[in-house]
């Protein structure tokens, strides 16, 4: 176990709705990265948060947004859900933004109908 | 590496044999490489890492080899066990403000008893 937790484990939404996913980082870690993993593919980087600030973003539209809180837990928000947003959403924490080793949580499985 | 397609390459081995999983990466500036194991329904689990100033690193039953000339990474698993059955991903990153991981396609390792 990595100590990284995510909630909820599964979620079903309909097109156009909004969703919030949550992540608690491992103790002592101040950096959280979010990834989207479509079925049968490797994870794709969404964005990273370091000390409550966004610290880099992948090729995802602005309707994907996030937050990091003072305790370094994080949220991923997705607005105006599309069918293609159906995926496993993973968060990973690391000791620092310069520490490359990222430890992943179990993920949230999102299904958009 | 870059994730492509929906059909994972599969490696089928007999229990007790050695396994070799290969990965190609595309960014010649990448300086840190990680192997992750992902079991069905779970998040990626860290296995072993290697920096670009090394060409080999050993862990418990696992060895990672790095060939920067041809941008190739391999993971060797000794005495493969049924519990090793999973999808294996390589990921790379390069030094910068954001240590985003770029994941390869993944290889499904199937261990036959």
Return d(Cα A64, Cα B61) in angstroms, integer. Answer: 40
Structure confidence at residue A9 (pLDDT): 97
Return d(Cα A100, Cα A107) in angstroms, integer. Answer: 20
Q: Cα–Cα distances in Å, from A75 out to A23, A65, B23, B32?
A: 6, 8, 32, 27
Q: Give the burial class of B75: count Cβ atoms within 10 A of its Cβ; 0-12 exposed, 13-18 middle, 19 or more buried.
A: buried
Residue A99 has pLDDT above 70, yes or no: no
Q: Record the tokens describing residue A13, joined without a space.
A: 């939404």
Residue B3 has pLDDT above 50, yes or no: no
A24 CB within 8 Å of a chain B CB: no
A70 CB within 8 Å of a chain B CB: no
pLDDT, greater one: A2 or B43: B43
Count the neighbouring beta carbons within 10 Å of the beta carbon of residue B111.
Answer: 20
Closest Cα to residue A88, out of B49, B102, B38?
Answer: B38
DSSP state of A70: T
Residue A98 has pLDDT above 90, yes or no: no
Closest Cα to residue B3, out of A66, A102, A87?
Answer: A87
Return d(Cα A23, Cα A5) in angstroms, integer. Answer: 6
What is the average per-residue pLDDT within A57-70? 96
Q: Please give the mean pLDDT across all residues of chain B.
A: 90
Residue B6 has pLDDT above 70, yes or no: no
The strand ranges marked E within A1-113 are 5-7, 10-13, 19-24, 31-37, 44-50, 53-57, 64-68, 74-78, 87-94, 103-104, 108-112
Q: What is the pLDDT of residues A50-61, one digit of tens each?
A: 999 999 999 999
Whether cis (ω within 30° of 0) applies to the bond prior to A8 is yes
B100 CB within 8 Å of a chain A CB: yes
Residue A25 · residue A4 · CB < 8 Å: yes
Of B5, B89, B97, Cβ closest to residue A55:
B97
Q: Please give the mean pLDDT across all residues of chain A.
A: 94
Structure confidence at residue B7 (pLDDT): 66
Question: What is the least distance, in Å, from the CA of B69 to any CA of chain A?
Answer: 22
Return d(Cα A107, Cα A12) in angstroms, integer. Answer: 14
Structure confidence at residue B73 (pLDDT): 94
Residue A37 has pLDDT above 60, yes or no: yes
Return d(Cα A99, Cα A31) in angstroms, integer. Answer: 9
Q: What is the pLDDT of residues B79-111, one digit of tens each?
A: 999 999 999 999 998 767 777 899 988 999 999
């Amino acid at each position: 176990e990595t100590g990284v937790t995510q909630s909820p484990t599964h979620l079903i939404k309909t097109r156009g709705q909004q969703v919030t996913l949550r992540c608690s980082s491992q103790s002592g870690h101040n950096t959280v990265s979010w990834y989207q993993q479509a079925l049968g593919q490797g994870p794709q980087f969404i964005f990273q948060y370091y000390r409550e600030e966004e610290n880099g973003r992948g090729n995802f539209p602005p309707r994907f947004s996030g937050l990091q809180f003072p305790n370094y837990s994080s949220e991923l928000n997705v607005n105006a859900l599309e069918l293609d947003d159906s995926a496993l959403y993973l968060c990973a924490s690391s000791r620092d933004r310069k520490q490359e080793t990222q430890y992943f949580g179990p993920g949230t499985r999102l299904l958009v109908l | 590496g870059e994730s492509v397609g929906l059909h994972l390459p599969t490696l089928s081995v007999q229990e007790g044999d050695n396994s070799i999983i290969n990965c190609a990466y595309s960014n010649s500036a990448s300086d840190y490489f990680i192997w992750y194991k992902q079991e069905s329904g779970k998040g990626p689990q860290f296995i072993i890492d290697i920096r670009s100033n090394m060409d080999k690193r050993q862990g418990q039953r696992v060895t990672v080899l790095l060939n920067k000339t041809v941008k190739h990474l391999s993971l060797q698993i000794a005495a493969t066990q049924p519990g090793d059955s999973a999808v294996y991903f390589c990921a790379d990153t390069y030094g910068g403000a954001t240590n985003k991981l770029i994941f390869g396609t993944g290889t499904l390792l199937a261990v036959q008893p």
